[in-house]
């Protein structure tokens, strides 16, 4: 895929973790013009300086006016858009009996509603870019939890399942308009929000924990190279396949006391 110059990309959750790594990776592309979106202004400003300049939008994406604010910033600074990376997300662990609908609802607002609403606002720009013959893409960062649920992470899984399902439909709808839609499904990734502390201390389980840079490269694969879907690490697709081929076995494994204890304080992206 030929990358035009300039190449305008919006990255949400850019103040740390996967979003920051993605912004740094995209900044290496010749002619890249980035729009960094997150809540923490000072971190966005620091990152923008480090990568040689970027438009910064400090906003909480769950606020009703956030999509319009991001759209206004992109339109004012660049007037076009080639790539939207819906990465921002959060997790609060807890069993359903204890945390109830309230926990499900707050996950849905951050991990599903926010990217859907932002996509709605920016989709006309992406379609206009594609109509000119330039590449246009959306990358939604879901999770392997969108394929396999675990104890005390049901609310998180529900939001990521919703994002993955919506992505499949959006892919089919937007292909006719020239907008590619990719899906990235990280497993356990050590970030500020998801430290994976107990896993990284385990002599064997630490091997299943990946790094933000790996996810950033998967996002580039889906956003710039036209890949449909990427697991990070790649072998995590085996868990998704097992969920379809051997659901009883997977349920038994995810319900085991050993696995639950080893990951009780951690959540995958």
User: Is residue 192's pLDDT more than 80?
Assistant: no
Per-residue pLDDT band at 201 (split at 50, 70, 90): low
Q: What is the pTM assigned to this prediction?
A: 0.91
**pLDDT bucket at 1, cuts 50 / 70 / 90:** low
Domain residue ranges of the chain, discontinuous segments joined by + = 7-262
Catalytically annotated residues: 156
Contact indicator for 184, 216 with CB cutoff of 8 Å: no
List Cα–Cα distances, 185 to 35, 67, 181, 229, in angstroms: 23, 24, 13, 8
Do the beta carbons of residue 192 and residue 17 sit within 8 Å?
yes
pLDDT band at 256 (very low <50, low <70, confident <90, very high): confident
Go through the chain and tell me how many residues it has: 269
Angle of helix 114-131 relative to helix 66-77, nearest 10 degrees?
Answer: 30
Domain 7-262 fold is: Rossmann fold (3.40.50)
In 3-state terms, what secondary structure has residue 55? strand
Q: What is the pLDDT of residues 125-173, one digit of tens each?
A: 999 999 999 999 999 999 999 999 989 999 999 999 999 999 999 999 9
Q: How far is CA 252 from CA 143, 150, 238, 255, 256, in A?
A: 20, 10, 16, 5, 6
Per mean pLDDT, which range of 56-70, 75-89, 203-217, 225-239 is the poorest? Answer: 203-217
- Total H helices, total E strands in the chain: 11, 7
């Amino acid at each position: 895929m030929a990358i035009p110059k300039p190449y305008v990309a919006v990255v949400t959750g850019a103040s740390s973790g996967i979003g920051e790594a993605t912004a740094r990776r995209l900044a290496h592309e010749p002619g890249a013009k980035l729009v960094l979106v997150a809540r923490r202004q000072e971190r966005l400003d620091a990152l923008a300086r480090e990568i040689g300049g970027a438009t910064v939008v400090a906003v909480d994406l769950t606020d009703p006016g956030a999509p319009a604010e991001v759209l206004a910033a992109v339109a004012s600074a660049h007037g076009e858009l080639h790539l939207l990376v819906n990465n921002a997300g959060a997790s609060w662990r807890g069993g359903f009996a204890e945390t109830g609908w309230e926990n499900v609802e707050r996950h849905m607002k951050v991990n599903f509603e926010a990217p859907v609403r932002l996509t709605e606002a920016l989709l006309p720009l992406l379609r206009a870019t594609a109509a000119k013959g330039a590449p246009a893409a959306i990358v939604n960062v879901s999770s392997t939890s969108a394929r396999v649920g675990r104890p005390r992470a049901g609310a998180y899984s529900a939001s990521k399942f919703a994002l993955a399902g919506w992505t499949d439909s959006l892919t089919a709808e937007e292909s006719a308009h020239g907008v590619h839609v990719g899906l990235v499904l990280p497993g356990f990734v050590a970030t500020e929000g998801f430290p994976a502390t107990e896993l990284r201390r385990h002599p064997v389980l630490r091997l299943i924990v990946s790094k933000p840079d790996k996810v950033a490269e998967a996002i580039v694969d889906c956003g710039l190279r036209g890949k449909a879907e990427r697991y990070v690490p790649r072998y995590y697709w085996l868990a998704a396949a097992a969920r379809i081929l051997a659901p009883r076995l997977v349920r038994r494994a995810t319900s085991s006391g050993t696995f639950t204890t080893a990951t009780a304080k951690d959540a995958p992206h």
